[in-house]
Amino acid sequence: MTTPQTPTTQPPTAQTRQPTQAPQPRLLYSTWSPGYVPQRPEATEADLDAAAELLRGRAVVVLTGAGVSTESGLPDYRGPDAAPRRPMTYQQFVADPGFRRHYWARNLVGWHHLTAADPNESHRALADMERDGVVTGLITQNVDELHTRAGSRNVIDLHGTGSRVVCLRCGRLEDRAHLGARLREVNAAFLARVEELGDIEVAPDADAVIEQTADFRVLGCQHCGGILKPHIVYFGENVPKERVAASYEMVDGAGALIAAGTTLAVQSGLRLVKRAHRAGKPVVILNRGVTRGDEFATALLHAGTSRALRHLQRALAPAA
Ligand SMILES: [Zn+2]
């Protein structure tokens, strides 16, 4: 079983070049390092059961990323199927009025995609796990609030939410829907023109691609006229200190961590995985493809989040 299969058609010289390929472990202490990308087979039912046993009897905190929302029609920046795309930075947004105009024009058109998205099986399974008393808290890198809409209660929106905007001068918050109504009012001609174009690409932060936004009118804070920014943590921006502290506290209070649907490419998520790992807590990483946190995982599950999370939910649910 450990012998690599050698095709009979191979010339004899190939025998010496035969890679010493160990059978791919499905549940492992990772040996991943940059440059070595293991081909992980799809997690089996037995793999999922083994992960459930690691979590059994422990208070579980879950960290989620874009991968849990892809089934809701919200594309993933970094998943295996994600198109390469440069994310917007905080510096761009603050420094360039033209960039902001372009941003808000795209955002206004793409917004209905976000508000139209519904929670999927991943969100529902996690909400059920909280009701079962298995999951004690959820930390999400997503800004779509689908966990809350699915019924999860103890949720930290690590990177903020798309449903509010913040004034960069006075700090006041405004509902995104309220700002949307204001923007639509002063941009009726623009929106009518865009509607004719049809077909719009959506990105995770509700961007939609529009070529021409020159005639779009941007609005400032109703109170002080300051620049309004989505209440979202952008690349180049730090997660607010108190939110970081709350997420640490949540992980410290738990007995295990699941990271689901995230490549852990950003520090704000990765450091939670490291923290749980350092404390000797089981870390289950559930993602299609390699993550930056694989070396800290007790179990790596290559699987779709909906199937795997529902499996874990059923395996860990208290007996009726
Ligand atoms: Zn203001």
**CATH code at position 205:** 3.30.1600
CA of 215 relative to ligand 1 center, distance in Å: 24
Give me the domain span that covers residue 50.
Answer: 40-69+120-159+239-316
- What CA–CA distance (Å, rounded) separates 250 from 156? 9
Q: DSSP letter string over 170-195?
A: T--EEEHHHHHHHHHHHTHHHHHHHH
170 is in an annotated binding site: yes
Q: How many domains is the chain built from? A: 2
For residue 39, the model assigns a pLDDT of: 59
- C-alpha of residue 302 to centroid of ligand 1, in Å: 46
Q: Are residues 142 and 289 in the same domain?
A: yes
Go through the chain and tell me how many residues it has: 320
244 and 141 fall within a common domain: yes
pLDDT of residue 43: 93
- Identity (one letter) of the amino acid at 193? R
Q: Confirm or deny that 68 is annotated as ligand binding.
A: no
pLDDT of residue 120: 96
Do 191 and 249 reside in the same domain of the chain? no
d(CA 237, CA 244): 13
64 and 212, same domain (yes or no): no
Residues 132 and 174 in one domain: no
| Catalytic option among 113, 159, 302, 311 | 159
Asked whether residue 63 is assigned to any structural domain, the reply reads: yes
The confidence score (pLDDT) of residue 228 equals 96
3-state secondary structure of 296: helix
Same domain? 184 vs 271? no
Split the chain (320 residues) into runs of 10 and give each run's mean pLDDT.
Answer: 43 40 37 49 94 98 94 62 58 87 84 77 98 98 94 96 93 94 93 69 45 84 96 87 97 98 92 98 94 96 95 93
Q: What is the pLDDT of residue 209?
A: 45
pLDDT computed for residue 114 by the predictor? 62
84 falls within a domain: no
182 assigned ligand-binding residue: no
Give catalytic status of residue 159 as yes or no: yes
10 within some domain: no
**How far apart are the CA of 169 and the centre of ligand 1, in A?**
5
